[in-house]
Amino acid sequence: MANSSELLDERTRLMPLARGPGWGLIICLMASTITLSVGLINLNRYLMQPHRFPFASGLVLIHMAFCSVFATLLRILVPSMFPALTDPSQKVKLDKRLFFTGILPIAACFASSLILANMSYQRLSLAFLQMMKETGIVSTYVFSLMAGLELYSFRHVQVIMVALLGATLTVQGELNFSMVGFVIQLFSQLSDCARVVLQSIVLSGQKLDAMSYVLLVSPVCFSLLCGVCAVVEVLPARMVALGLLMPPMEVTRAWAPLLLGSCVIAFLLNISIALLIKNSGAMTYIFSGVMKDIFAVLSSVYVVHETVSPLQIVAFSIQILAVIAWGMLKNDPVAFQDGLFAGVVNTLVRRRSAESLIDKPKAAAVAAAAAAAA
């Protein structure tokens, strides 16, 4: 018969900490990620108004400079946060091929998506823009098919059709629709989806963590934007959109506190995302993204006092369900063999079964330890 010390060792081995971070930490990381993301969205939209700081390129340039400097400092002070650059077992080989075929085009897509996203704030409501972003799964899947990263699946097409239905209803329900703003946001999303696909192609098999990614991409984005800004400055002002112009120094000084706040929030968001990805699974990250979009829409309605039509509420609900179903499908495609609804039910049932299998040995160990102590 096992003695009490052996039972205690077994109980300790089966405690949740041995299996990974607790739910308390994950919930805190999710809350910080959602809060920082929604705060950054609202602050950038506030700055992008024509009578404030409507210089999208300038804002992204300042962000990239700030992230480059502070990511470098963090790399020096806390190298463990950059395992792809410091850990010998996870280190990614940095060479010319990776730079010219990976980091450079990824940085170009990233910079263009950020600039266009900031420009769209001037023409469309925040709620509508967040609803549009839910259709990113459509273009990402199409690009992935073209690149050979995905195989055609009728289940994927079903989810995409649901997402497209929600997007169509969102456009029809928009009360202050702008075709120019819609096109700008569309190209922003296409650039971002191209970035995601490029990452999958170039970085396949290479474990590049979020913070290492920021440290590698931010300086390249900054350099590219400096080149673009230099070209823009020599062109006649009438040929360049306001968002692409560099801000006058006096305007930058006037809005410096809010610009600094935007940079700090953006950098903290990168750290929060990195920690969330490290300590949680794919579904948790997808769920936090869904919650972020919901809170962003709610903040636009109740804080910014934007108007959302009843049709858009229905459309956004459909899009949210499509994104959740998409995450479940990508995480466990076998569960969806009998249909979308059956797949969602099977995924939830399997998750509960897995949790019960984990909890039973732990409960047995605790009970045994208690009996031995008695």
Band of the pLDDT at 206, cuts 50, 70, 90?
Answer: low
In a 10 Å sphere around its CB, with 0-12 CB exposed, 13-18 middle and 19+ buried, how is residue 267 labelled? Answer: buried
pLDDT tens-digit series, residues 156-170: 888 888 888 888 888
- Distance between CA atoms of residues 44 and 27, nearest Å: 26
Tokens of 114: 């950020």
pLDDT at position 95 is 82
Average pLDDT, the chain: 78
| pLDDT tens-digit readout, 250-265 | 999 999 999 999 999 9
